[in-house]
Amino acid sequence: MSQQGYVAAPPYSQAQPGIGGYQGGFGTGPTQPLYGHYGGPPQTFTAPQAGKELLFQTHSPGPMQSPPPSTSSVAQQPFQTSPPPAMGQPQMLPGLQSPHMTPQMSPPQSPHSPQAGMPITGQPPMAGPSMAGPPMAGPPMAGPPMAGPPMAGMGRPFPGAPPLGTGGPGIAASPGYPQQAGNSEPVCKKVSQFGGPMAGPQQGMPGAFPGAPSTLAGPPQKKLDPDSIPSITQVIEDDQVKRGGQVFSTNIRGQVPPLVTTDFTVQDQGNASPRFIRCTTYTLPCTADLAKQCQVPLASIIKPFASLPKNENPLYVVNHGETGPIRCNRCKAYMCPYMQFIDGGRRYQCGFCNCVNEVPVFFFQHLDHMGRRVDFYERPELSLGSYEFVATLDYCKNNKPPNPPGYIFMIDVSYNNIKSGLVKLICNELKTLLEKLPREEGAESSPVKVGFVTYNKVLHFYNVKSALAQPQMMVVSDTAEMFVPLLDGFLVNYQDSRAVIYNLLDQIPDMFADTNESETVFAPVIQAGVEAFKAAECSGKLFIFHSSMPTAEAPGKLKNRDDKKLVNTEKEKTLFQPQKGVYEQLSKDCVAQGCCVDLFIFPSQYVDLATMADVPSHTGGSIYKYNNFQVQHSHFLRDLRKDVQKSVGFDAIMRVRTSTGFRATDFFGAVHMNNTTDIEMAAVDCDKAVTVELKHDDTLSEETGAHMQCALLYTTLSGQRRLRIHNLSLNCSSQLLELYKSCETDSLVNFFAKSAYRAILNQPLKNVREILVNQTAHMLACYRKNCASPSAASQLILPDAMKVFPVYMNSLMKTAPLLGSTELSTDDRAHQRLSVTAMGVEDTQLLLYPRLIPLHNTDVSSEALPAPVRCSEERLTDSGMFLLENGHSMFLWLGQGCPPDLIQSIFNLPSLAHLQGHMCALPELDNPLSKKVRSIISGLLDKRPNSMKFQIVRQKDKPEMLFRQFLVEDKGLHGSSSYMDFLCYVHREIRQLLT
C-alpha cells in the first residue's frame, strides 16, 4: 500500500448523503453527494444539434487519429420534441459512482483529436461563458433544484428542434479502428438501416422505466431490426477469430487481453496472466478529476487461485531459505519485475513507493550494459508476473509450521433427509469420493485429515481411529456450550482408517432409518467444526448437508421472516440482510481459525438463506442450493465431487499494494475484513474472485504507469506456508479516449453486479436500478462528448470496447436480486446475490448473457461447438433444438416442429408427443448425433464451476416459462425491458445529459 493515509468511505450501514433514489421518475435529488473522490457539482453538456437521423456508431480509434466522420444517411421518421426539462441532482450508491461529469475538467486534447479547435455541437456556441470559462451565474447546483418540470424518466421527450418532414431511427455500426494500441489500420465501415417507432417498456410494469410510453409519437412503422444493434455473440465470435488460439505475452504494460470467452494461451513475461487479474480498464486516467468526469469505475478482479490449462506452466516456487522473501523496507512490497536495480546492483528502488533499499548479500548480482541483472531470466521474481515464495516461520501462527488441513463432513439426519434418500446417497458417494481427496503434485496420497458428524437436534461425533474394529458414536446434546467430545480418533488419515470409515458410512443410514426428529440445529454445527480444528491446531473445510430452517432451541435458532408484502417497499432490503448476532460472531471465529464452510442445502420451503449462508459467504466458502431435491437428479453429486477435489489454499490473507497515486479502497467477495487493507479468507479456491475498487489519491504519471501487486499468504495441502504474488502494470493517460479504448466490458459488468448487489442491502431496488441506468448513460455521454467525432444529437455513439455494455446492464437489472417481484423466491434471490459476490469475470459474463446453442444442425464430424445465437425468442425455430446454459441452469429446448428423425436420434422415440415431461437426462444411444449432443453437454458441465441443473422443455409446455426468462434480449416475464427498449432509453438519457 502507498504510505498515504487511508480515507475511509462512509459506512454502508446507514443512509449516506447522496445515496438515495429519484422520487418518482427523475425529479430533484438530495443535496450534493460526497463519496470518496466522486463528489462535485453536477455537470452539463453542450448539446449536439438534433439531427435528422438516429445513427448508431461504435468505434475504437487508433492512437492519435480521429475517428472516421459519420457519413451514412438512413431511413427517417419524425418524432416529438420539446425543450429539455431541468435536471435533478444525481445520486450514488456504494461502489457505484455518482452520475455526473464536469465540463470544466475536460482532458487536454491532442491537436489530432476531433475536439481540437472545434465545438462538439456542430452549431455556434451558446451565448455566455464558454465551457472552459467560469461557471454560469446562478445558485450552486447543490442548492435548491432548478425551476422546470421534473425529469419524467423514459417519458421524457427528445430535446431539440423537430426535424422537418424526415427522420427515422437508423443505426450504423462502425467499428472504426481496432482496439489494440498501436494498430491504426482502418476497418471498412458497415452500415445497416431500419425504420420504425422505438418501442419503450409498457407503463405500469414492474421493472419498466418510470414514465415509459409505449412508443414515441409518430406514425406506426416497421419494428426496429434487432440485427442492427450490437450483438454479444458477434463480439465473442469476432474476438475468437481475431485472437483465438494465439499466445498472449504479458510483456507489454497496459495490454488489453482477449475476452474471457476466447481460447488463448498465456505466456508470462512480467505481468500476471489475465486468468489471475482482469481490469475494468487497462489505462487509468492520470487524475481524480478525469476519473470523476468519465465515471468509468476503476477496479481489478483478482482470482488468485485460478486454474491454468495444461499447456501453461504452473507457478514457480522461490525459496530464499531462512531469510524469506525480499521486501521493500518501507511499503513491504515483494521483489518483482518493477524493482529498479541501481548502484551496480547493490541497491534497488521500489517500484511502488520509490524507497531505495539495500540488496541482501546472498541476492546480489551484477548488472549488464542495459542496467539489468545478469540473472534476470533465472529468477522468477524478476522476470515473471506471478510466482510463489516459500514463507518463513515469521508468517505462521505462533511461529509454528501449520498442520495439514482437515475436511469434516456434517450430515443432517433429520426425518426429511432420511426419507428422501439423501443421507444414503451422501454416504455411498463419500466412499468413492474420499479416494479422490486433493493431493500435492506427484504425491501418492492426500495429507488431508477427515472427520464425520451427524446431527438433528443434537450432534453425533464419530471415533474412526484405525485401531478400532467398529466406529464409536459420541453424542453432544448441550448445543449451547459446544465442545468436541474426543480428540484422538476424530480427525484421521483416510488411508489408515479406510475400513472403519466404510463401516461408519454403511451404518449411518440404518442408524437413523426410524427417526421422527424433524427439528434441527445449525449454528452449533459450525461451532463444533471450529472447535475441532482448534483442538487439532489446523485449518480446514466443513461440508454441511442441511435441509430445513434451524428451529430447535439452540444458538442461531431462526424464525420465518419471508414477507412478500415487503417486496417493492423501502423494507425489501431486510429480506437480504442476515439476522445479526450468533452468525456474525461465528464468521469471525471461523476466519480466525481458518475454518471454511461449504453449505449444501436441500430446502422444500423458505429457510432464510440470507442468514444461513452468511458464514459460508464470509469464509471463502460456497453455497449450493437444490430445491425440492430428488435422488435421481444427480447434479448435486457432480457439485460435491468438484467441491471436494478442487485446489484450495487455507487460512489465507491477501493484501493489494499499489504504486503511489492510487490505492485499493473497496473489496467485494466471499471474504472477511477486520481492517481496511487485509482481505481474510478461511480458504480460497480456484473459482473465487475478489473485486477490488481503486481510487486516486494523487496524480499518476503517463511515463511510469501504475503498478499493483496482490500478495496472498496461505497454507498448502501439505501444511507449507506460502506467498502467492501477482503483479500487474497499467498505462496512465490524460486522454479519456485511451481509457475508453482499453476498457473491458466483462470486467465492468462484474464490478457493477457486485456493487449493485451490495447496495440492495441498504437501498430500495428502484434506486439501485436507476443508478445503474444513470451510470451507463453518463459513461457513454462522456465518451461521446470527449472522444467521438462531432455528429447529430440523434446518433447513438458507443465506444467499440463497450458497444455491448448496455445489453449486459439491462440483463443485470433482470436478475432475481434486482427484480422486485413477489413471484420470485426470497431464498433464490438471496442465493444468487451471494453467489455473484464471489464470482470471477467469466462466470458473471455467462450468468448475465447465457449461451444459446442450436443443436439441430450439429456437424457430428466437427469437434467445434456450434456457434451460439443471440438470446432472444426470435432466434428460436419451431423445427429446432437449442441448448441454453448460464453456469447454473441448462435447458434443452425442443420446438414443436422438431423432425421425427431428430427426436428418434436423441431420445429413441417416434415423435415429440411421446416425450415425457420433466425429463432431466438424455438416454445413452449409440448413434453419432446422440453421442455428439451428449459430449457437448458433458463438456459444458465439466467446464463450469457449478454443475448445472439440466432440464428438457418442449415449446408451449408450462416449464417453458422458466426457460424463457433466460432469453435476456427480450422483455422479461416480470415486466423488465427488452434490450432494444433499454438501448433507446439510454440514448434518451445520454441526449438529456448532453443538453
List pLDDT tens digits, range 954-983. 998 888 888 999 999 999 888 789 999 999
- At 541-580, the pLDDT tens digits run 999 999 999 999 999 999 999 999 999 999 999 999 999 8
Query: Could you tell me if residue 730 is inside a domain?
Result: no
Q: What does the pLDDT read at residue 466?
A: 94
CATH number, residue 599: 3.40.50.410
Whether pLDDT at 811 is above 80 = yes
Query: Could you tell me if residue 258 is inside a domain?
Result: no
Q: What does the pLDDT read at residue 972?
A: 87
Does one domain contain both 854 and 828?
no
Of residues 815 and 118, the one with the higher pLDDT is 815
Does one domain contain both 584 and 543?
yes
Confidence of residue 190 (pLDDT cuts 50, 70, 90): very low
In this structure, the number of other CB atoms found within 10 A of the CB of residue 15 comes to 12
Q: What does the pLDDT read at residue 927?
A: 87
Give the whole-angstrom CA distance, residue 300 versus residue 96. 15
- At 892-917, the pLDDT tens digits run 999 999 998 899 988 888 888 877 66
Q: How far apart are the first and last CA of the chain?
A: 41
CATH number, residue 753: 1.20.120.730
- At 324-357, the pLDDT tens digits run 999 999 999 999 999 999 999 999 999 999 999 9
Residue-number span of the structural domain to which 775 is assigned? 743-849+973-994
Give the whole-angstrom CA distance, residue 173 versus residue 167. 18
- CA pseudo-torsion sign 412, 951, 843, 295: negative
Q: What does the pLDDT read at residue 918?
A: 55
Residue position matching grid coordinates 412478500: 564
Residues 9-15, mean pLDDT to the nearest whole number: 31
Give the whole-angstrom CA distance, residue 715 versus residue 440. 12
Backbone angles phi, psi at 10, to 5 degrees: -65, 150
Confidence of residue 791 (pLDDT cuts 50, 70, 90): confident
Residues 213-231, mean pLDDT to the nearest whole number: 56
Q: Which residues of 900-916 are buried (b: 16+ CB within 10 A; e: fewer)?
A: eebbbbbbeeeebeebe
Whether pLDDT at 110 is above 50 = no
Residue position matching grid coordinates 417481484: 821
> Cα–Cα–Cα angle for 266, 269, 271, nearest 5°?
85
Whether pLDDT at 47 is above 70 = no
Whether pLDDT at 808 is above 50 = yes
Whether pLDDT at 155 is above 80 = no
Residues 407-432, mean pLDDT to the nearest whole number: 95
Of residues 753 and 858, the one with the higher pLDDT is 753
Give the whole-angstrom CA distance, residue 338 versus residue 315. 18
Query: Could you tell me if residue 731 is inside a domain?
Result: no
Does one domain contain both 936 and 916?
yes
Query: Could you tell me if residue 118 is inside a domain?
Result: no
In this structure, the number of other CB atoms found within 10 A of the CB of residue 753 comes to 28
Q: What does the pLDDT read at residue 39?
A: 31
Distances (CA, A) of 11 to 129, 300, 573, 759, 859: 40, 22, 16, 12, 56
Does one domain contain both 611 and 755?
no
Of residues 55 and 488, the one with the higher pLDDT is 488
Whether pLDDT at 135 is above 50 = no
Residue position matching grid coordinates 439440466: 950
Does one domain contain both 959 and 839?
no
Query: Could you tell me if residue 624 is inside a domain?
Result: yes
Whether pLDDT at 635 is above 60 = yes
Q: Which three cell numbers stand for residue 363?
A: 541476492
CATH number, residue 861: 3.40.20.10
Q: What does the pLDDT read at residue 58?
A: 62
Does one domain contain both 902 and 759?
no
Q: What does the pLDDT read at residue 919?
A: 65
Of residues 165 and 297, the one with the higher pLDDT is 297
Does one domain contain both 462 and 584?
yes
Give the whole-angstrom CA distance, residue 622 versus residue 843. 14
Does one domain contain both 844 and 855?
no
Does one domain contain both 757 and 884?
no
Confidence of residue 72 (pLDDT cuts 50, 70, 90): very low
Give the whole-angstrom CA distance, residue 34 versus residue 159. 30
3-state secondary structure of 348: strand
Write down the mean pLDDT value for the chain.
80
Q: How many residues does the chain have?
A: 995
- At 276-290, the pLDDT tens digits run 999 999 999 999 999
Residues 744-748, mean pLDDT to the nearest whole number: 98
Picking from 700, 673, 807, 684, the residue whose alpha carbon sits closest to that of residue 748 is 807
pTM: 0.81
- At 80-109, the pLDDT tens digits run 222 333 333 333 333 343 333 333 333 333
Q: What does the pLDDT read at residue 95?
A: 39
Query: Could you tell me if residue 838 is inside a domain?
Result: yes
Query: Could you tell me if residue 367 is inside a domain?
Result: no
Does one domain contain both 829 and 752?
yes
Query: Could you tell me if residue 806 is inside a domain?
Result: yes
The residue among 593, 619, 646 that closes a domain is: 646
Q: Which three cell numbers stand for residue 487?
A: 480428540
- At 15-24, the pLDDT tens digits run 333 223 322 2
Q: What does the pLDDT read at residue 133?
A: 36
Confidence of residue 743 (pLDDT cuts 50, 70, 90): very high
Contact at 8 Å (CB) between 801 and 743?
yes
Of residues 134 and 798, the one with the higher pLDDT is 798
Q: What does the pLDDT read at residue 328?
A: 97
Does one domain contain both 913 and 954?
yes
Report the range of poorest mean pLDDT among 627-641, 831-845, 849-863, 866-880.
Answer: 627-641
Q: What does the pLDDT read at residue 59?
A: 56
Of residues 243 and 634, the one with the higher pLDDT is 243
Report the range of poorest mean pLDDT among 98-102, 687-691, 927-931.
Answer: 98-102
Number of domains in the chain: 3
Does one domain contain both 942 and 911?
yes
The residue among 615, 631, 646 that closes a domain is: 646
Distances (CA, A) of 531 to 182, 460, 481, 487, 527: 58, 14, 11, 10, 6
Of residues 485 and 173, the one with the higher pLDDT is 485
Whole-number percent of the chain with pLDDT over 90: 65
Residues 685-713, mean pLDDT to the nearest whole number: 96
Picking from 65, 41, 32, 78, the residue whose alpha carbon sits closest to that of residue 794 is 78
Contact at 8 Å (CB) between 624 and 638?
no
321 Cβ neighbours under 8 A, 6+ residues apart: none
Whether pLDDT at 717 is above 90 = yes
The residue among 646, 669, 684 that closes a domain is: 646
DSSP structural state of residue 313: P
